[in-house]
């Protein structure tokens, strides 16, 4: 009798197991979960009070875990796929997870800076009857640029792309900005 075929992740995804990098990435993800649990809310005019957090009590952890899982899996995949397409020999799923976890954590800080609206202060800022301080929009722009530049620098450093001509700085910046936009869309 023949044994059933074994699933080998390495046949489908490139990675080099580094327990330290995995532990750091998991700790960053846990910190992001803590920020989301403390500041994130799903606002909806169709429920009493308009807040999912207020109506779901301790079960609010379920949509937060789903959000964070979706953001992490998708952002990791986008970063891994982009690096794999440009430089297949440098692609590494664990490194992509690390970059994604840092980027998502930095994104979650939007909810600390702007607890009522998070990154959607971009839209809410210009609505009538909503007041923000004069420095709030520059803070929003600076934090967005900081996330993009940190993701760009981290991607270059972690994947050792500094001297690689196959993927240039423009594409790396585009990857950082596009993955941030995707994270933002998932949180909406």
Tell me: the pLDDT tens digits for 159-178? Answer: 998 888 888 889 999 999 99
**Residue ranges per structural domain of the chain:** 15-187
Q: Which residues is 51 bridged to in the sheet?
A: 43
Tell me if 89 sits within 8 A of 61, measured CB to CB. Answer: no
Q: Rounded to an integer, what distance in angstroms lies between the CA atom of residue 69 and that of residue 156?
A: 24
Mean pLDDT to the nearest integer, 79-95: 91
Tell me: the pLDDT tens digits for 106-120? Answer: 999 988 988 777 777
């Amino acid at each position: 009798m023949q044994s059933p075929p074994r699933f080998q992740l390495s046949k489908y995804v490139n990675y080099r197991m580094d327990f330290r990098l995995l532990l750091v990435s998991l700790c960053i993800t846990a910190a992001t979960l803590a920020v989301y649990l403390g500041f994130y809310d799903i606002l909806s005019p169709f429920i009493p009070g308009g807040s999912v957090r207020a109506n779901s009590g301790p079960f609010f952890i379920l949509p937060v875990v789903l959000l964070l899982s979706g953001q992490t899996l998708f952002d990791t995949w986008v970063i891994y796929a982009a690096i794999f397409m440009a430089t297949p020999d440098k692609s590494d799923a664990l490194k992509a997870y690390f970059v994604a976890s840092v980027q998502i954590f930095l994104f979650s800080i939007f909810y600390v800076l702007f607890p009522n609206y998070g990154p959607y202060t971009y839209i809410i800022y210009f609505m009538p009857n909503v007041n923000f301080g004069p420095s709030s929009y520059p803070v929003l722009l600076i934090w967005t640029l900081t996330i993009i530049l940190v993701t760009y620098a981290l991607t270059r450093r972690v994947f050792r792309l500094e001297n690689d001509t196959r993927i240039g700085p423009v594409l790396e910046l585009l990857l950082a900005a596009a993955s941030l936009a995707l994270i933002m869309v998932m949180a909406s």
